Amino acid sequence: MRTVTEKLNLPNYILDILNNSKGVTVPRTREELIELAMGNGNNTTFDVCYDVPGIGNVKEATVVKCKNGVVVNYYEDYMRRRDPNSMVIADQKPTDKPKYSDIYGKDFEELRQDTFTWLKEQELIFFPFKSGGLEYGYDSIVIAPINAGFFAAGLADLQDFLNIDEIDWEFDAKAVVFLAPPFRHTHFEGKQVVVHNRVEMHEVYSYNLYPGPSAKKGIYAVLLDIGEQEGWVTAHASTVKVITPYDNEIVIMHEGASGGGKSEMIEHMHREMDGRVVLGLNSVTGEKHYLEFTDSCDLLPVTDDMALCHTAMQNESKKLVVRDAEAGWFLRVDNITKYGSAPQLEKIFTQPEEPLIFLNLQATPNSTCLVWEHTMDSTGKPCPNPRVILPRRLMDNVISDSVEVDIRSFGVRTPACTKEHPSYGILGLVHILPPALAWLWRLVAPRGFNNPSIIDSSEMKSEGVGSYWPFATGKMVTQANLLLEQIVNSPNTRYVLIPNQHVGVYEVGFVPQWIAREYIARRGSAKFRQEHLIESRCSLLGYGLDSLKIDGQHIGKAFLQPERQQEIGIEGYDAGAKILSDFFKKELDKYNTPELNPLGRQIIELFNNNASVQDYVDLIPMRY
């Protein structure tokens, strides 16, 4: 084993694990990884089990071989979604996250050594990969038990898998992922726990088999940690180049907390069977409003969830420059509920060029896994978090180069709002934000209504700085300062705010962002005309639109200014605005410290003094 790995210049403790284990498999191809996911045999089903001291043999997941890939299902409902409280910090570097020593009353080193001992008792999978992409990314490795082949294959698809024989540079490992599932039961009461230890390498200890908090967000944490040291950010965002029927081009980057519509921003608009689009369903009266689109825009995806904003990529355009930080996308398909919901994606999923990895979907051996057949939870309801890991190379028209961002949008899951039951669901279909307000929304990043991606309550919570705070290991104020510097240094990038799920009383799904995407793209590089903008009644929402015409059709003002909806009125709107403002006040207080950029303290002071929208514009000018 040493002859294979010595070219990677690995630390001695890593070599000790590899050289003293029961055996190490180093896959060179994706095909080998898919075979390992099925137990490296001719299996059509494969149970992933572990002997757990004091409990016995525990079945964690089952893997089924289908015509279009391998399908993973966990035995526990809890393991089918990411636990937002899974991150624990083991080292003594500055952090605002829970520390292992504080939670468990002892140093992590004992469990660290026990993890190494357990790994030595296993047959292992080992391979190198790039965190953050081949061009700007960082050398990394993974060590996992061989029966967790699906986890390793998923990580290889999400990150940039490297064939160890083709590495012809001086490998400098910055991160390592250790997978040790049994410790979830012996040390963490069955909970998802991922321990980060920022030492010689950034060590990520995944003590559970759901890839969300480790293979996906654990690597995100690695990039945020490196960026914090070097002065750049990996945004939590999808990015798409939109080309109109008239050949206008514009790049939109859509940020937001989990469930905020990032994947949906790079999807084509969902339509009824007759081609119409349901603009909204009145949740009180049941009335539906429709739109007809004869021509919609072409979409060239750039990023799905992680947008690298490395300083080495920035240029003289005074726009933010981004590229994808991932090799594959962890797509949630809960909104594909029947055949025809998303034809472009369904075609790829059903007849892929290469076998895919599916999670939380129904599967029969040697059949075709259908992404609208979601696994049923023990409640009798479909799992809200079905996933497909899609290598980006299999996406049509995907852009692999860096792009300049024209519009940064922010998505918020909003509940219904009525005067009888007021809520923060007072956002109109689209709002235009001054840069200072755009920064505040990224500091608070409301997680919002009925989040399908994570285990949580339905009430509004803050996902924090840039909406990527759940994955960051350092200090909130450091990330807040980096985001503010990024905004100030990109004055030619404009900002909008878009709700999903509800606009006031109307159920809208993700239609607002699809409408906003079509509308903004058709404007091209044109500015928003000031006479079409009105200051929102709630100043946190910046400017609303007085009118919106798209494809020859006017959008009703009730969708642009929800206070005009008779079910809400001024009374319900103002009550909802107070809920939203009180929430921001509570969340922003934690940032208002001496370490915060003085400009940031001025912006928060404006908010605390109930500033007008113009006050925010005066502080940081905006392009309309």
In whole angstroms, give the CA distance from residue 210 to residue 73.
10
DSSP 6-20: GGGT--HHHHHHHHT
Residue 487 CB neighbour total at 10 angstroms: 20
pLDDT score of 293: 82
Grouping H, G, I as helix, E, B as strand and the rest as coil, residue 549 is strand
Residues 468 and 236 sit within 8 Å (Cβ to Cβ): yes
pLDDT score of 453: 55
In whole angstroms, give the CA distance from residue 495 to residue 173.
37
* Distances 556 to 280, 438, 538, 548 between C-alpha atoms, Å: 11, 26, 20, 8
Burial 270-283 (b: 16+ CB within 10 A, else e): bbeeeeebbbbbbb
List all residues 6 or more positions away from 118 whose beta carbon is below 8 Å from its beta carbon. Answer: 180, 182, 183
Closest CA to 181 of 316, 55, 280: 55
Determine the longest span between alpha carbons in the chain, in angstroms: 74
Residue 109 CB neighbour total at 10 angstroms: 11
Closest CA to 235 of 300, 307, 289, 312: 307
Grouping H, G, I as helix, E, B as strand and the rest as coil, residue 198 is strand
Task: Tell how strand 202-206 and strand 175-179 pair up.
Answer: parallel
Q: What is the pLDDT of residues 49-66, one digit of tens each?
A: 999 999 999 999 999 999
Grouping H, G, I as helix, E, B as strand and the rest as coil, residue 123 is strand
In whole angstroms, give the CA distance from residue 99 to residue 310.
28
In whole angstroms, give the CA distance from residue 332 to residue 304.
11
Domains present along the chain, CATH in parentheses: 2-34+84-210+218-230 (3.40.449.10), 246-296+408-619 (3.90.228.20)
**HEC sequence for 477-511:** HHHHHHHHHHHHCCCCCEEEEEEEEEECCEEEECH
pLDDT score of 343: 87
* Distances 81 to 64, 210, 258 between C-alpha atoms, Å: 19, 8, 11
Residue with tokens 């390592």: 176
**HEC sequence for 575-589:** HHHHHHHHHHHHHHH
Grouping H, G, I as helix, E, B as strand and the rest as coil, residue 282 is strand
The CA radius of gyration of the chain, in Å to the nearest whole number, is 24
- Which tokens in the block code for residue 379? 């409640």
pLDDT score of 258: 80
| Amino acid at position 470, single letter | P
Phi, psi angle pair for 283, to nearest 5°: -70, -10
pLDDT per 10-residue tile (average), the chain, 624 residues: 73 96 96 94 93 96 98 97 94 97 97 98 97 95 97 97 95 97 97 96 97 95 96 97 92 92 90 88 93 89 96 94 96 90 91 97 98 97 96 92 97 95 96 98 86 59 91 97 97 96 96 95 76 93 94 92 97 97 96 96 97 97 83
Closest CA to 587 of 444, 414, 411, 478: 444
Helices 435-444, 598-608: inter-axial angle, 10-degree rounding: 90
- Find how far residue 529's CA is from the centre of its chain: 33
Residues 478 and 601 sit within 8 Å (Cβ to Cβ): no
- The 8-class DSSP code of residue 361 comes to B
DSSP 69-91: EEEEEESSGGGGSB-TT-EEE-S
Residues 430 and 614 sit within 8 Å (Cβ to Cβ): no
Residue with tokens 């909204």: 280
pLDDT score of 222: 98
Residue 561, Ramachandran bin (φ over 0: left; ψ between -120 and 50: alpha; else beta): beta
Tell the burial category of 31 from Cβ atoms under 10 Å away from its Cβ (0-12, 13-18, 19+).
exposed
Residue 513 CB neighbour total at 10 angstroms: 28
Closest CA to 280 of 576, 567, 580, 577: 567
Helices 12-19, 109-120: inter-axial angle, 10-degree rounding: 40
In whole angstroms, give the CA distance from residue 194 to residue 207.
6
Phi, psi angle pair for 168, to nearest 5°: -120, 25
CB-hemisphere CA count at 13 Å for 229?
Answer: 11
pLDDT score of 459: 65
In whole angstroms, give the CA distance from residue 38 to residue 27.
14
| Amino acid at position 329, single letter | W
In whole angstroms, give the CA distance from residue 498 to residue 521.
15
